[in-house]
């Protein structure tokens, strides 16, 4: 695991809001999965950066509860209407071509799982040493 991945996972955790993003490519390829910060601005940046290459995106919390679902680059379902409004505030300028999507706090799900496994191993080793 490289330092950039570790740094990104830590940035995501620093937001205290994280979940999973599932991207279904326009070309019908395999679904891509990401660990993502679920702040309104970050979700808007993620959605905005995939307007043309995703037919659908689903963002869930860590318990797999729906946060937002898109059809292309447009919001389709968003149970929390206040949150939906906040995402739209950040997403609309990207959709209108007035600005580019900003930094996206996300890592590939496989990399995130490697990070969690590494973290578990470190904790296990520390606990093992404490018992000696």
Task: Choose among 25, 51, 47: nearest CA to 36.
Answer: 47
For 101, the token pair is: 């999507």
- What's the whole-model pTM score? 0.88
- In the prediction, which pLDDT does 123 show? 76
Helices 40-49, 81-95: axis angle to 10 degrees equals 40
> What residues contact residue 96 under an 8 Å CB cut-off, 6+ apart?
none
pLDDT tens digits, one per residue of 39-66: 999 999 999 999 999 999 999 999 999 9
pLDDT tens digits, one per residue of 61-98: 999 999 999 998 899 999 999 999 999 999 999 999 99
For 30, the token pair is: 């395999």
Overall number of domains in the chain: 1
For 78, the token pair is: 């968003």
pLDDT band at 116 (very low <50, low <70, confident <90, very high): confident
Structural domain that includes position 78: 3-131
């Amino acid at each position: 695991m490289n330092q950039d991945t570790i740094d990104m996972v830590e940035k995501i955790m620093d937001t205290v809001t994280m979940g999973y993003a599932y991207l279904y490519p326009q070309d019908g390829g395999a679904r891509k999965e990401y660990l993502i910060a679920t702040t309104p601005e970050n979700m808007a940046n993620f959605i905005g950066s995939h307007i043309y290459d995703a037919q659908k995106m689903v963002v869930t919390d860590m318990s797999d509860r729906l946060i937002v679902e898109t059809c292309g680059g447009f919001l389709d379902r968003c149970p929390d209407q206040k949150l939906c409004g906040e995402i739209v505030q950040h997403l609309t300028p990207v959709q209108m071509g007035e600005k580019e999507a900003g930094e996206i706090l996300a890592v590939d799900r496989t990399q995130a799982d490697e990070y969690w496994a590494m973290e578990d191993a470190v904790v296990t080793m520390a606990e093992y040493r404490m018992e000696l």
